[in-house]
Amino acid sequence: LAGCNEHLAKPIDKQRFYEVLARYLKVYAGNAVEPSQQYYGRVLVAEDNEDNRQLVERMLNRLGLDVISVASGDEAVRKALSGSVQMVLMDRHMPEMDGVAATQLLRQAGFRRPIIAFTAGVQRETDALRDAGCDGVLDKPIDELRLQSLLGRFLDSVPSGVGSADEDEDTSRLVTQFLSGLGERRQRMNQALASRDCDVLESETHQIKGTAGAVGYPAMTHQAGIVEALLKVADPQWSQVRSELAILDEMIEREQPQNQTGLGK
């Protein structure tokens, strides 16, 4: 397409149009995003990253929704088919059964309620979930305005009341939890770098990319995405991986309560 990043077919599909805008444009929402609506229903969140699960669960609860959380695709299929679920948020990468297989199985079993691809913004992963039967896309890190827009398309809503007095405390707890887990991630990445274990490094940077921005560290999400992209090629250039990973390591080190041995040092 002579250098174009996306395409829109005519006549323009509104859903596709808004998703392309959301992928490339940022929405200014002031210091905080306040929910303008409350929603009815139960949402199933299929996501193997505990930090991401808790983040999206807090957002959905804040908007009045009940949440069922699972960490694998086979659990997602069982819960969706056995319970009263109005929407599914489906991650791509999960153990035992991934999101694509789980979505295909749900559709084959007759599940017709909305399934939303819950991805880190990688186009081929989004396309695979769409082809499997997903109705929309929610990129990580989660944008609350985008989340509300998706909920508004698929769920019934009522005017919102006053926000919870515990929201700031909940957010602080999630940030603390994310930061406290970075030390172990550094150790795993350190070992993986030494042994050139591409799978472990890609998994760890993918998890950081999906969570950091949502808890207030967008630069960390961006840098983790750079490293992950370097690791996805058939023959990674390890000198470049080491260099970019060192930048990510410095970002993590600045947020640790005490210094730890850095990556590749």
Residue 70 near residue 79, CB atoms below 8 Å: yes
H helix or E strand, kind and range, residue 69: strand 66-70
Topology of domain 14-159 in CATH is Rossmann fold (3.40.50)
Place of tokens 């084959």: 108
| Phi then psi dihedrals of residue 159, to 5 deg | -55, 140
Is the CA virtual torsion 141, 26, 19, 114 positive or negative?
positive
Does the pTM surpass 0.85? The reply is no
- What residue ranges do the domains of the chain occupy? 14-159, 169-254
SS3 205: helix
Topology of domain 169-254 in CATH is Four Helix Bundle (Hemerythrin (Met), subunit A) (1.20.120)
- Average the pLDDT over 153-157 and give the result: 81
pLDDT at 101: 96
Per-residue pLDDT tens over the stretch 50-107: 888 888 898 898 888 889 999 999 999 999 998 788 899 999 989 889 999 999 999 9
pLDDT at 84: 80
CA distances from 243 to 183, 199, 226, 229, 246 (A): 19, 18, 11, 14, 5
**Which DSSP category does 142 fall into?**
P
Query: Which pLDDT band, with edges at 50, 70 and 90, does 234 fall under?
Result: confident
Is 155 a residue whose pLDDT tops 70?
yes
> Which candidate, 99, 139, 103, places its Cα nearest to that of 119?
139
